Chain A
Amino acid sequence: MIINYCIAKLNKFLASQVKRPSVRYWNEPQKEDKSRDGENTGEAAVQQDRRAKKRKQKDETSKSDPFPGSAPIPKDRLQKFKRKDKITKPPRHYRKLKQVITRSEEASDLALKQAARFDLLLPEDAGFLEGDEDEDTCTISQEDIAEAVDITSGAKYFNLKLTQFGPYRVDYSKTGRLLLLGGRRGHLACFDWQTKQLMCEINVMESISDVKWLHTDSMFAVAQKQWLYVYDSNGIELHCIRKFNDVLRMQFLPYHFLLATASATSFLQYLDVSTGKEVAAICTKTGRLDVMCQNPHNAIIHLGHSNGTVTLWSPNQKEALVKMLCHQGGVRSVAVDKMGNYMVTSGMDKKLKVFDIRALKPLTSYFLPAGASCLSLSQRGLLSAATGDVVQVYRDVWSTPVTKPYMAHRVRGSVWGLQFCPFEDVLGVGHGEGFTSMLVPGAGEPNFDGLDANPYRSAKQRQEWEVKALLEKIQPELISLDPTDLGRVDRATFEQRHQEKVQSLGFDPHAKEKFVPKFKKKGRSSAGAVERRKKQVAHVDQRVIKMFATSCRINK
């Protein structure tokens, strides 16, 4: 439609240039249409024809807009913002219902259309690397790319040679401005990686297993040898959390303000960063937990285990929501894409597998000769896999079977941490000899949400964002496998609800007390008398039970 529109405009322009009176702009696009795909646009063409006729009639009297109404919205864009299918309308006689439904449909239609229309305001587009005729993009070296691109982008490729305290874990802040490096041997540094401005650099004098930024740029958590520590961006220790011991991996859920930690003692713990309380501590009973990732779509934590399974956890349930057998050996790394559709795992069996985690089905499986130790997915869906000291980047692992990587780069020392920088075409690699910032064209999301994660925000904006984010904090109870569960009617039966209540309270609030006959003197509390008195009440209880049973049946 848009193309037609453009062509028509162009033709109009041409016609006005050449001044040919007989040629009309509405005659041209139809031919184009028919030649391109006659079947699909035939109807549209007919319609246009009719419109043209109408226009012809009208043009005699006055000049009017040749394209009346609002501009059409492309279908794919509509599809992008679509939430759920419409339901069939109720029969006519449910007037009120019909009215409510039509209103809500109208509203959601408007919302959909507006969102699709305003998608136009996201002007940036992601680029990608393109090789020459018979040149593989994976053979292009980082130096070449850095030379070819502009200076600012070229400066984003750099190496930090930190041989003393490696290997390094890496974490970018949510906006992608700040970088946090945690060396295995206690080296901790955070800096603005674009300006290379160091904010703090300390040595915690303990081994560090993982580092993670918290909700703002001013706080980060460090999993040290024994406890979990929180530092501010000046390197001042804010907290030492003794409840969290032997933490190996951490994930921060930004909208829930939860720090999820996986420990060597097979505990998965959740710390609410806004209140400082431990939300949940789950014993997974699966041994050492050193593979962890989060699903950004529904805030579910994925853990990889040595028996080849990947388990999915929420803080609300003591058992794994889902347990998938993914590999024959142990799982070495897990990554989930931004939309929460795909999960990529790599295992000891040197395989790289892609799963559709909505359907929990395997999609594709690749064999990597060296096996991937670290995986990371970018915002645009590029997959980086570290095999030994080589970092490979793949494009479109789930949609089309890939035979060779999109990019590859060799770093010094084995890779320990790997993360794509948000909103930048940069991949940060922490390895035994320091840190390497790689250029990966097409990795980052080109359009950022200024109200969510704005890389260019000022201090004032950051403060405002923090307040708003805290106000909009999602409670941990709302974490579930399907985030749309909240918008669903609870279909539990009365019995189920009662059971849950009993379980949560520890006693049955509706239970009737057992009748204990009062003790009476003068020999009236003889066993026989007591039994008689009990019998007098017995039929009442019977009736209550019967009533309850019937009510249950009715509820069912």
Chain B
Amino acid sequence: MAKVSKIRKSKKRSKVAGSSSKKPPVVYDDEQEEDVCGAEEDVSSEEDDGEDERKRQKLLEAIGALGGKRKHALAERSEAAVHMSEFSMTADDEADLSDLIGTIEKTPAATAQTKKHLKNLQRSKNTVECPLSKQENERIQRDVAFQKAALEVSRWQSIITQNQRAEQLVFPLNQEPSGPKPIEQVVMGWEARTPLEKEIFSLLAANKQPILDAVLTPAEEASVKAMDLEQVKIRRAERQKARALQSYYEAKARRERKIKSKKYHKVQNKAKRKEFVKQFEELVKTDPAAALEELDKMERARMQERMSLKHQNSGKWAKSKAIMAKYDEGARKAMQQQLEVNKDLTQKLVTSLSKEEEEEGEGNTDMLPDFVNDAEFKQDSSNPWMRGRLSEDPTEMELKDTMDVTAEGASAVTKEAEEEEGSEAEGTEEDALLREFDSRRKQRQDQESDTSAVIVNDGDDGVEEDQVTEDKVAEISDEEEEGLSEFTRMYRGIGKSLEKDAGSKDGSAELEEGLMRIRSVDDVDLLPQETPTEPQQAPTPQHQKSAEQQPSRSRKRKKGIELREVLTKETKVIKVPLAPTVTDSEEKLDQRVLIEEAFAGDDVISDFAREKRKREDEGKPKVIDLTLPGWGEWGGLGLKPSKRKRRRFRIRTEVPPPRKDQHLPSVIISEKRNSAITPHQVSSLPFPFENPAQFESSIRTPLGRTWNTERTVKKMTKPRVVTQLGAIIEPMADEQLLKGKKKVSARRRSRNTKTRTQPAK
């Protein structure tokens, strides 16, 4: 701290000193500054007016002493004193970097490097900030730690979102699809991933092992040749001995496990503990990392103990003992022991190693089977020298020696060896296949890229087609609109005429008259027309139609009202080959029909028009007049409520939307809402949708089997999450992260290729 401040000041000082060397200093407001100045000038030994300066300084000092606190200044080395500053400075003075540097420059002993360094220090303008307070420091550390953790977590973000958006998730996640796979895929999909595999492959390559299938490797052949009978015999004897030893050991272990004596086990455990402590100490010396791991294991055991209800006297046995404890000394003791065990196990670990060793004494009996396993493994390999591991043999021998001392290390190594062997066998087969299919894979990849391009093309076709259909639809709708507008014009004409004759009877009569006339004229026109020109009509009905239309159009213009157009389109008389024979009943009916046609026909249309008008009126907004004459003003005969009042108390209801049958003169559509269906309808828009049209289009396709093919149904109704029955769902591992990234990048690449192919097309 002090140093830093000094350095900071030194810079100021140096500036000041520089200026002072050229010009005499004008004003000095600080006492210390002056001190320093004086000191510097001493050092620089350019004293023109040194004497004057000193005098002045002393004077100033005296003045300063007069005012403030009593300053206890140490004297300079000019005279004898008890407290003497080493560097011609008083204790209150602070040393300055520039002061020191000045001396260093002169001393030849200082290296050039340090000089340079110091110079740099002096030259650098920015000051070193003072260290932060503890709280701030901690906060920053927390910040940094949080950022680190956030970064760590945010790495998973992409996978999480990907899974969230996935159409279907199948747990366990990185499951391979079931069912048989093509052999090429299996072979191509396999590659040496783990370091062990890589190592094995490198070893295989280094030892000239056959990657293609062969009976014996060159090395094996050499070894077979090199080994003589004697050696083989010795080896065999060794193996036999090892096997015998192992079986003895196993038998012993079995026997010991069966012993029920508590005391025996106590002794045994103690011995084991001691053994373990010894081992651990050794481990600490030889392999601290392993020791740490050991410690970790202990910690975990402690955690487990804390979690479980073991040794807490809550079990069945403990409860029974608790009842007995009052009367039975032994039971009490047993309970006590249990509690002690619990206490021991749950005790917080202290960093000193010796304590943990004692605690862990019990837990570590599982090391012994490792040795046994190892022996078994050796039994498995019935002919070890035929396995092509000659070069590794010496190392393994070494390991065997050390195995007795450190069982763990040995077990690890043996495991490795096991894996090696397994993968080696695979390797030989798979390498053969690998090479075989490598070319095929490349071919297929090429094909895939081609097909993908083609697919893209197809999609574009679809889009174009869609556009075409849309255009068509637009055309059709335009036509319809035209038709509609014609219709409305006609209907308006009717409406006007109806309004003119308020009674509407006259109007209807007129309408009917017009209608009948048209029809009769038509019939007259049509009937004679068709009989002679029948053979011609049959091939060209449309032509005939247009011919018909022309005269009728001219007639329409004369009348103004085209009811015929509204109610009936032009009729076509159909010629029937078999003339109907008229039965009696029919005749009667016909007569009746005739009568009805003659008299009732007019009623039909006018009744309908009236009904429609009535309906329309019902739907129209009604004005309710609530004005009370004489309320708030004078009332009486001949006095009307004021206009303002009438306006104020007239309530208008909202104008309803236009009727659906507005443009359909011969149709009345009920405006009543069908409320029966509302309970089955969606009443509020579900979440991601912005407007009803979107939602409606999203549910437009039915899901059922009645309307879809089986595949579609399965595709559309597949569940969001599928879990395999009985499978353990592990939390995601880091590898998943990498895989996901790869996938994403691959997809991006493929998308890029797609976009590249699109413009090319």
Instruction: Using CB atoms and an 8 Å cutoff, list the residues of chain A in contact with chain B.
Output: 43-44, 47, 50-51, 54, 58, 62, 64, 68-69, 75, 83-87, 90, 94, 96-97, 99-101, 103-104, 107-108, 110-112, 114-115, 118, 136, 138-139, 307-309, 314, 316-317, 319-330, 348-353, 360-371, 387-390, 392, 400-405, 408-410, 413-414, 432, 451-452, 472, 477-478, 480-481, 485-492, 496-497, 500, 504
Contact = CB atoms under 8 A, between A and B. Distances in A.
B604 to A, nearest CB: 4
Contact of B581 (A352, A388, A486, A496): A388
Given A54-B450, A478-B680, A111 B716 contact: yes
Given A325-B608, A325-B667, A367 B597 contact: no
Interface in B523-556: 523, 526, 534, 537-538, 541-542, 545
B677 A477 contact: yes
Given A329-B597, A348-B596, A487-B696, A367 B709 contact: no
A99 B569 contact: no
Contact of B580 (A68, A317, A387): A387
Contacts of B604: 307-308, 325, 327-329
Contact of A83 (B523, B701, B712): B701
A489 B682 contact: yes
A496 B675 CA distance: 10
Q: Which 6 residue pairs are nearest across A and B when measured between Cβ atoms?
A: A388-B580, A108-B701, A316-B676, A104-B698, A490-B681, A489-B692
Nearest to A500: B675
Contacts of B678: 490, 492, 497, 500
B699 A487 contact: yes
B706 interface: yes
Given A112-B701, A328-B567, A366-B572, 16 more contacts: A47-B457, A68-B450, A97-B690, A100-B689, A115-B709, A316-B675, A317-B674, A322-B670, A325-B667, A389-B583, A403-B534, A410-B578, A489-B692, A497-B678, A500-B675, A504-B675
B451 A69 contact: yes
Contacts of A101: 694, 697-698
Contacts of A486: 677, 680-681
Contact of B569 (A85, A364, A497): A364
A405 B689 contact: no
B447 A64 contact: yes
29 contacts: A58-B450, A68-B450, A96-B687, A99-B688, A101-B694, A107-B712, A307-B603, A309-B608, A320-B670, A325-B666, A353-B568, A362-B567, A366-B572, A367-B526, A367-B574, A369-B573, A369-B579, A388-B582, A388-B586, A389-B580, A414-B586, A432-B583, A477-B679, A481-B674, A485-B674, A486-B677, A488-B692, A488-B696, A489-B696
A233 B341 CA distance: 86
B694 A403 contact: no
B711 interface: yes
A252 to B, nearest CB: 20
B328 interface: no
Contact of A370 (B542, B568, B580, B681): B580
A54 B446 CA distance: 13
A218 B556 CA distance: 58
A409 B694 CA distance: 53
B472 to A, nearest CB: 11
B601 interface: yes
Contact of A316 (B600, B677, B711): B677
B690 A83 contact: no
A404 B575 contact: yes
Contact of A51 (B454, B689, B706, B709): B454
A387 B579 CA distance: 9
Given A321-B670, A329-B597, A486-B681, A94 B688 contact: yes
Interface residues of B, number: 97
Interface of B: 165, 167, 443, 447, 450-451, 454-455, 457-458, 461, 464-466, 515, 523, 526, 534, 537-538, 541-542, 545, 567-583, 585-586, 593, 596-597, 600-601, 603-605, 607-608, 611, 661, 664, 666-670, 672-685, 687-690, 692-701, 706-709, 711-712, 715-716, 761
Contacts of A308: 604, 608
B465 A136 contact: no
A139 B575 CA distance: 12
Contacts of B603: 307
A99 B162 CA distance: 12
B583 A111 contact: no
B697 A87 contact: yes
A491 B677 CA distance: 12
B674 A316 contact: yes
Nearest to B693: A87
Given A111-B701, A307-B607, A388-B583, A480 B674 contact: yes
Given A68-B454, A87-B697, A492-B673, A103 B167 contact: yes
Contacts, number: 284
Contacts of B600: 329
A319 B581 contact: no
A351 B674 contact: no
B681 A488 contact: yes
Nearest to B470: A85
B601 A328 contact: yes
A408 B578 contact: yes
A432 B584 CA distance: 12
A308 B675 CA distance: 29
Contact of A360 (B667, B670, B684, B707): B667
Nearest to A104: B698
Given A316-B677, A328-B601, A403-B538, A90 B577 contact: no
Contacts of B576: 368-370, 387, 390, 392, 404-405, 408
B700 A83 contact: yes
A400 to B, nearest CB: 7
Given A107-B701, A487-B696, A366 B573 contact: yes
Contacts of B711: 114
B688 A100 contact: yes
A533 to B, nearest CB: 28
Contacts of A83: 700-701
B609 to A, nearest CB: 9
B168 to A, nearest CB: 11
A302 to B, nearest CB: 13
Nearest to A365: B571
Contact of B574 (A69, A405, A414): A405
Contact of B667 (A324, A353, A478, A497): A324
A452 B704 CA distance: 14
Contacts of B450: 54, 58, 68
Contact of A403 (B575, B582, B670, B676): B575
Of B541, B670, B690, chain A has the most CB atoms within 10 Å of the CB of: B670
A114 B685 contact: no
Given A62-B443, A325-B608, A490 B682 contact: yes
Contact of A319 (B457, B605, B670, B699): B670
Nearest to B527: A367
Which of B581, B600, B692, B700 has most chain A Cβ within 10 Å?
Answer: B700
Given A103-B167, A114-B708, A309-B608, A389 B581 contact: yes
A242 to B, nearest CB: 27
B443 A403 contact: no
A485 B577 CA distance: 46
B701 A491 contact: no
A329 B545 contact: no
* Residue of A118, A348, A478, A489 with most chain B CB atoms under a 10 A cut-off: A489
A511 B574 CA distance: 65
A480 B568 CA distance: 27
Given A319-B672, A325-B666, A489-B695, A400 B541 contact: yes
Contacts of A504: 675
A322 B697 CA distance: 27
Contacts of A392: 576
Contact of B573 (A84, A317, A319, A367): A367
